Amino acid sequence: MNSSEKIEAYKRLVLDVQNCDKLSDCNYNLKGVQLEKCPFCNEINLWSYWQGGTAHLNAKILLVGQDWGNYNDPDSKTLMKSIRLYNDAHNNPCDYLKGNDNPTDKNLCELFDSIGIKINKPNTDVFFTNFVLCYRSGNSGISGGFKQRWAKNCSSYFIRLVQIIEPKIIICLGRAVFSNVLKAAGIKMPHIKYNDIIESKVYDAEFGNHACKVYPVAHCGVLGTNNRNRDKEFSHILDVQKQDWKKMMSELK
């Protein structure tokens, strides 16, 4: 696709996500954790307000998380205000990191910096999304209780996003994400420990006519970092993950 074709395809994708009729199935017979749409998300995902949108559709890297969490969480109040202002007038930049103490986002900045990529400001070489494109509602919290049904219902949207961006590499944050990215490419998940998967190899995957590398990495939140560091020697909590990320550098030259 050329640039104008990519922009039109991305806008159609965002509109299709906004009008998705699968939410009732995602929430069918669920107690506790429920999903809802975000009425003011005009990108594929709220995470895409950090790195994403039409200016990033030729990104070399597609970073994929599991799901964004609850956009009504008190810790997200400043960010939601910034996003609303950006939606109203694009001359107001969306500063995703302003007032953001999320350990995952802070660690991402450090991990990207370790491979020579700055993400504290918009970087068109990078696009961020979550695999699940709806958000946890009410008192569902920001993590835990992930349902495979959610990912299944979002898989076709993810494939379309990959085909639009045509990234060189896809970085998968955590086992559930990696499993669903492989499944979207028709590849079976290996039945070994995730730390062993991270250390074993890089995966070649095809999404329609687009082929790229898929990198399994640990989620860089507190739990994922602790799991990755288990039985490892390190002086800094991200040392092990930085070594995992350095494998990508040859693909990004």
Domain segments of the chain: what residues? 3-252
- pLDDT of 9: 98
- pLDDT of 233: 86
Q: What is the DSSP string of 157-218?
A: HHHHHHHHH--SEEEEESHHHHHHHHHHTT-PPPSS-HHHHHHH--EEEEETTEEEEEEEE-
Task: Name the amino acid, one letter, at 185.
Answer: A
- pLDDT of 167: 98
CATH class of 3-252: alpha beta
- pLDDT of 174: 96
**What does the alpha-carbon distance between residue 221 and residue 202 come to, in Å, rounded to a whole number?**
22
Q: Per residue of the chain (253 residues), what is the pLDDT tens digit?
A: 999 999 999 999 999 999 999 999 999 998 878 899 999 999 999 999 999 999 999 999 999 999 999 999 888 899 999 999 999 987 777 899 988 888 999 999 999 999 999 999 999 999 999 999 999 987 655 566 789 999 999 999 999 999 999 999 999 999 999 999 999 999 999 999 999 999 998 999 999 999 999 999 999 999 999 999 998 888 899 999 999 999 999 888 7
Residue position matching structure tokens 């699968």: 22
